[in-house]
A = this chain, B = another copy of it.
Amino acid sequence: MSELTHFDRNGNAVMVDVSKKGETERMAVARGVIKGNAAVFQAVKEGTVKKGDVLGVARVAGIMAAKKNSELIPMCHLLMLTSCGIEFMMHEENHSIEAVCTVKTTGKTGVEMEALTGVSVALLTIYDMCKALDKGMVIGEICLLEKTGGKSGTYRREDESDD
């Protein structure tokens, strides 16, 4: 039960054998947050309206990274994503920007890692584009919100509020 599936019985890392698994429709949603100072928050917020669309660039970066996931995470299988999108929510109260990445595939394994990678790279891109304003930004609360499909079925994160 408490075994790491990515290692064989000799402790060697392996790409898990999914050859006997059927192709099913799968979906995963991940999210994460970046917190900066007021200048960052303001610049990103204005940028989306009239100049310097930080979130637009970050969205493209996140989607492209989700597609690259299997090149980044060593034991991940390549999957053909059938859909990928990233939404951002601006939280004025604590100057944080939340990213939510939703990924779908029809395949033999799930797309949790694609969604998490998409979120991570989108947030790193925001950091990059705003770091002249605040080097102290922190990226966090990166987690899986939901997954559906596959043998292990549906997972839904219970309480988001106290990560």
Contact = CB atoms under 8 A, between A and B. Distances in A.
Interface of A: 1-8, 10-19, 21, 25, 32, 39, 42-43, 47, 50-54, 56-57, 59-61, 63-65, 67-68, 70-87, 104-108, 112-113, 116-117, 120-121, 124-125, 127-133, 135-144, 147, 155, 157, 163
Given A13-B63, A135-B155, A138-B141, 4 more contacts: A4-B43, A7-B51, A120-B124, A136-B144
Given A2-B39, A19-B82, A142-B140, A125 B13 contact: no
B13 A60 contact: yes
Given A63-B13, A112-B135, A2 B79 contact: no
Closest 9 CB pairs of A and B: A11-B51, A140-B140, A7-B52, A17-B83, A19-B82, A139-B142, A14-B85, A15-B84, A6-B129
Contacts of A143: 136-139
Q: Dominant SS at the A interface?
A: mixed
Contacts of A82: 17-19, 21, 77, 108
Number of copies: 6
Given A53-B56, A82-B77, A132 B8 contact: no
Contacts of A14: 63, 83-85
A54 B104 contact: no
A133 to B, nearest CB: 6
Contacts of A47: 4, 7, 11
Nearest to A113: B128
